[in-house]
Structure 1
Amino acid sequence: MPSFFVKYKFHFLLILIGLLWISLFDFMTQMSSQGVMHSDSFNYQESAKNLYVFYRGHNYRPILMAAISGIPYLFGGSDESIFTFGFYVNLVCWLATSLLLFDILKKTIKPKNAFLFSLLYFFTVGNTAHVFHLLTETIYIFMFVLAFYFLLKYYEKHRFLWLSLALSVFVLSMLIKPGSKFLAIVFVVCFIKIIFKNYKSKASWFLYGSLFLVFIQCAGMKYQFGDFTVSYIDAPTYYGYIGSKAMCIKYGKEYSQINNPRADYIFSNESKNQKIIAAEDFKKQLQFNKINLLKAYFSDVIENTKSGNSCLYECKNLRRVNQSFFDVSKNVLFAITKWQNRLFTLVALLLSAYFLFNNYRKERVYFFMAFFITYIILLSGISCGQGDRFHLVTFPFMIVLLAKFLSERKQLKPFFEPLQK
């Protein structure tokens, strides 16, 4: 038993530090007492209730997120219990991500350094804040870190089982956040030859199972709403955010997420019509307003890069502690989220460019991580007003690429202790 704890001492230490940090974070921000839910959280609760209580799908939120968050409904839980349960699911995923991150990092650098880099993930304040909310980001990050862990195993062991597991998680990720569908397609296409060579393998059933769940989701959407699609969320997202901002720029108006007649209009239509309205609007804007559409896109990317965490910004002193202490804690942490977002996004983009150009034919797992970072940041331009919510998904992979990059710098080797293979 002592040898077991010695072997996994860094894992246990990570869990202990994570629990201490999130307790301290909650003490400073009173996050668990706020009762203020992110606007999207109610959609996730609604989709869970649709699945478990009414046996139907949700037009915007796919079934896997609903299946996870709605488990309390199986045991007679209330609507409020879904939000409480969501915290514990997020907490487990948050802690598990740090452990996976540590195991990925120690493939490149010494365990002590891998441990320190893993701590950097914990102290990414925006990620910590999201643990308290019924949102997809914490689960989504865990899924992609898990997928890249499997992919790294595949490149080490050269066993199809690990590739099948990795691709399965990539595919399932679109049932958490539908924006992953193009990313999942790219990853599957990249390995299509290997998939065909192993299509009779028992390990292939992991991939077949994930594809079948996606088929179930799309077929359910077709039956309930009229289109064979993962989700309808892309239509109102485009129309109410980047499309609306482009029109505001055209007519010299200030864009407002709250008072947005275009958003009100598209949500007043049925889901199937939303898709048609958004598609037609996109075609027209490409024809007659493409410059302003481009300006809106870059405006959104910049805003998503420089903004702080909106969950923190809304915190109030509900426990009646010293007001000045609460205000200072909240403002300092919010400022940290802004500067972490700016710095980490910049570093993530620079590292991604480096690994995209240098790792296409060698250690391709780092190439794929760089591709993932680039995809997420570029995709963030379709929406705005979400704080650091988009880009913080990339930060764990920025940490991995940063460790890898530093370990390869000869001038830093005496200080950085790269792992000798």
Structure 2
Amino acid sequence: MTLPVALAGNDVIGQAKTGTGKTLGFGLPLLERVTVTADVEAGRATADRLTDAPQALVVVPTRELCQQVTNDLLTAGKVRNVRVLAIYGGRAYEPQVDALKKGVDVIVGTPGRLLDLAGQKKLNLQHIRSLVLDEADEMLDLGFLPDVEKIMGMLPVKRQTMLFSATMPGAVISLARRYMSQPTHIRATAPDDEGATVANTTQHVFRAHSLDKVELVSRILQAEGRGLAMIFCRTKRTAADVAEQLEKRGFASGAVHGDLGQGAREQALRAFRNGKVDVLVCTDVAARGIDVEGVTHVINYQTPEDEKTYLHRIGRTGRAGASGIAITLVDWDDIPRWQLINKALVLSFNDPEETYSTSPHLYELLGIPVGTKGILPRADRTRAGLDAEVVEDLGETGGRGARGNGRRPAGGKPAAAPVEDRPART
């Protein structure tokens, strides 16, 4: 639906459920509008259209999404040799500045680092022909919209702007009105797909006791047909604790949360993509846009903040036509919060069934073999584990990143955590 409108050069507001292919919806038109050497050689463009300054910009809210969009665009632009660069915080400035000097066609970046480099005159935004704001509602939630507006003020007035957002809050609509020219609003829904969730994701909601949750999750992870699994927590501390406890029980697990340095976050995601770990425990920093093939189970270890967060978490499975299972564990004191989510999404789990790690209905509903215990048998421990994936030295910035390697930034004081790593409001 997006391609004909975007390829014609029109401004686009795109709204679709997570897992429906938004990245290529804006990625292909974006790559088409970039002029590279291959186009000049083939006679599709004149040499005066070539430049080493970036011609397209994609702004995303989180580092993980930044990496993923970059990889997707590199894959799609490989034949024409389009140069795509990811620019985000938590990594050393120098490699990013060096890459900019060599010449770049498309930039994918988080608002903070983009503003930094543009302010230092290291990033030239005068040749941008296409701008994409991906996950605009998340940028609003994280407080990035003022930064995004500053970036937009640095761009040429004559350009194509595409805005993609799962929901359309008032602030996002007013942003679109101010900076877009007669945009076409495209809302993609399947006729047989009612409600806000993807139809081929089976949802289960259980009322669970916090002291029994790790035991319960350990048994769910031994369900028949379980591929890769993602476990979502509301706080960084819980995510770190759950990952550690699962590792002690024999599961190949990794963690992604804001207290980890950027190198450790990337190590865990790479190990998960490569299948060296099959359980990824994360905070909502990984709930947006992360697309890993083979995720069959998503477990909400703690009740999500709101219905939007719930949709993005469970959207990590059941992507691109595959089926998936989403399990939410609700503490007794989280029942009112869950009931608000249940009502907003018109689900049928208003009073979740009380469930323990020994409850027969848990085994029956999720296909867990009878007699399964909370420790993975040694014979089933076949994954290489997190340590099999190397940690890159990224020359990390900020005290959080330095924590893992014993280094501190200049000045001796640990820097504050980047905005995009702050925990969700509770």
Taking structure 1 as the reference length, what is the TM-score of the superposition? 0.30
Larger helix percent? 1
Larger strand percent? 2
